[in-house]
Structure 1
Amino acid sequence: MPYALVTGASRGIGQAMAAELARCGYHLLLAARSEQQLQAVAAELRQQYGVEVRVYAQDLAAPGAAAALAAWAAAQTQELSVLINNAGYGLWGKFEDLSLAEQQNMLQLNMLLPTELAHALLPLLRQQAKAYILNVASTAAYQAVPTLTLYAASKAFLLSFSRGLRYELRETNVSVTCLSPGSTTTNFADRAGMNAALQETANKVSMTPLQVARIGIQAMFTGAAEVIPGALNRVSAALTSFVPKSLTEKIAAGIYEKHLK
């Protein structure tokens, strides 16, 4: 049976993707920082779907984490055929007011971890009959977002990286897809440090992690280049191609900046 590696699998979209892959018959390698949460997810998936689930608990933003995770995954199985790069988070606030160290940590997790994992695991993925890489970006990838400046930039990087890598691998067995969700009912807002007013606004248009995961997994298996779950999110992203950047930035700033203390 094939295996799938999912990062950021202890909750939210990552947990939902792991469940969806288990439902499809994949054995799982789950990675995240919290061992307790990972073990709970693993136990539930083993019981519900009867698949093998192995966990790797580590701070994935730490130096050398990607290489260590890739080595662990390769030691677990030679049948790895899916890599889900889901680990990541955002930081809300003005660039100069946020800690540089914390912003660097976010960039390491959002950008360098998926880059390093893809590079390290591509030789193993290439050995399979068919293999997939799914990178989880955000609708923020399609425009600059003041007060989420580096987060949006990191997701824009991930989108561009996914499309470039996809083209390079177009004549191989490895398909690359980028999933760009909008607001989702996860702990993103809490982790980003957003206040209650912003969270309440986001919740009005949020999708569930399971909805996002099913759309993303389906798009991956059908070989889509990129997918944006939700009609409203797709329209918003499309408008950024026609509306002046200065206007989209002003609109985004109007949503986020007014809630800063």
Structure 2
Amino acid sequence: MVLNCYENDYEHMNTYALITGASQGLGKYLAVELAKRKYNLLLVARSVQALEAVKKEIVRTHNITLTILVLDLSAIDASTKLRDFCVTESLEISVLVNNAGFGLWGSFERLSMVDQQNMINLNISTLTSLTYHILPFLIKNKRSYILQIASTAAYQPVPSLAVYAASKAYVLSLSRSLHHELKSKGVRVTCLCPGPMETGFSDRAGMQALAHLTEKYNMNPEIVAQKAIKEMFSGKIEVVPGVMNKIQRFGDWLFPKYMTERIAANLYKK
């Protein structure tokens, strides 16, 4: 079912799109796409310098109100702090984009448990809690959207990216469930499952040794953002951008799990 949206009629003016992890990469381009559609923006990330740079770039081109909030989203109380900020500032949220997240490459027993727990906190706990706490704002606006960012890693276990892949499988499953739960309340939930992109993800994950692999299949995050926002407004439940990613998705469905897992293990072996 395709939902008639107000992407072009601007009924949403004076409402905000809340985007986490919006200081660079995909988050930045998602912000640009929503600014083009005259959404006011609340951008959240850890780096004040990076957020200020994105703000300057967007407001120079688009006539919107843009608010930034510097916050460590992996902290346990991050989602309640963000909700309280929206209440205090009287921000009407009609789009939530849960973009913040990161991965770690390496064998499970050798990676720091502290780092892996922080990844779980950000990729799963904060995403879930923020969705819960912002949902009343979205329901109040009657016609609202949630965009959750997963990964093609959500479709299969990935040895050497074990916890990351598991966290993204959670995001995909949650998103599909909420899509059906919330559509009667006027909230559409879309899950974006991109593959490798030209962002800082690989560097943060410690995957420099696999640069030859990731660069070969990298997509432009600007193009991914354009596709994601378009499909979100159409009410699509799941978005896999790029021909190669769609082929991979088909292979995950077609071939036995042990085969796709073995291929992934060889590709991402450290």
- TM-score normalised to the size of structure 2? 0.93
Q: Distance in 2 between matches of 1:199 and 1:76?
A: 43
Q: Is the 8 A contact 1:184 1:206 kept in 2?
A: yes
2:197 to 184, 193, 200: 184
Please say if 1:129 is aligned against 2:142: yes
- What's the counterpart of residue 234 of structure 1? 246
Moved runs in structure 1, 4+ residues, more than 2 A? Answer: 73-79
Letter of the structure 1 residue corresponding to residue 100 of structure 2: A
| 2:254 counterpart of 1:203 | no
Classify the secondary structure of the residue corresponding to 1:171.
helix
The residue identity in structure 2 corresponding to 1:136 is: I
Alignment of 1:170 with 2:183, yes or no, is: yes
Residues 5 and 73, structure 1, Cα contact 8 Å, conserved in 2: no
- Structure 1 unpaired stretches of 5+: none
Distance in 1 of aligned mates of 2:58 and 2:87: 22
Give the drift of 1:182: 0.4
Residue 50 of structure 1: CA displacement?
1.7
Query: What residue ranges of structure 2 are gaps of 5+ in the alignment?
Result: 1-12
Q: Quick check: 1:74–1:124 contact (8 Å CA) kept in 2?
A: no
Query: CA–CA distance in 2 between the matches of 1:77 and 1:185?
Result: 36
The equivalent position to 1:97 in structure 2, one of 95, 106, 110, is 110
In the alignment, the residues of structure 2 paired with residue 244 and residue 80 of structure 1 have an alpha-carbon distance, to the nearest angstrom, of: 43
Q: Which amino acid aligns with 2:95?
A: V
Counterparts of 2:188 and 2:90 in 1: how far apart (Å)? 20
Q: Is 1:115–2:128 an aligned residue pair? A: yes
Determine if contact 1:169/1:175 at 8 Å carries over to the other structure.
yes
Which residue of 18, 42, 54 corresponds with 1:41? 54
How far apart are 1:78 and its partner, in Å? 4.1
Distance across 2 between alignment mates of 1:218 and 1:112: 27
* DSSP 3-state at the match of 2:68: strand
Superposition RMSD in Å: 0.9
Match of 1:17 in 2: 30
- Of the three residues 152, 160, 178, the one matched with 2:173 is 160
Specify the code of the residue in structure 2 equivalent to 1:187: G
Structure 1 letter corresponding to 2:67:
R
TM superposition shift of 1:237? 1.0
Once structures 1 and 2 are overlaid, which stretch shifts more, 45-54 or 140-149?
Answer: 45-54
Structure 2 residue 253 is the aligned partner of structure 1 residue 250:
no
Residues 33-79 of structure 1: CA distance to partner in whole angstroms, max 9, x if unpaired?
Answer: 10110011011111111211100111110120111012112333442
- Counterpart selection for 2:228 from 206, 212, 216: 216
Aligned twin of 2:3: none
Indicate yes or no: 2:69 matched with 1:56: yes
Equivalenced residue count is: 257
Aligned residue in 2 for 1:65: 78
- Give the percent of matched residue pairs that are identical in Structure 1 and Structure 2: 47
Residue 106, structure 1, aligned to residue 116, structure 2: no
Letter in 2 for 1:39: E
Per the alignment, in what secondary structure is the counterpart of residue 101 of structure 2?
coil
Letter in 2 for 1:230: G
Contact 2:101 2:122 in 1 (8 A): yes
- Encode CA deviations 1:199-256: one digit per residue, 9 max, x unaligned: 1221111111101101110111000000000011011012111211111010001111
Task: Write out per-residue CA displacement over residues 106-161 of structure 1, whole angstroms, 9 at most, x where no aligned residue.
Answer: 01100111111110011111011310000000000000000000000000000000
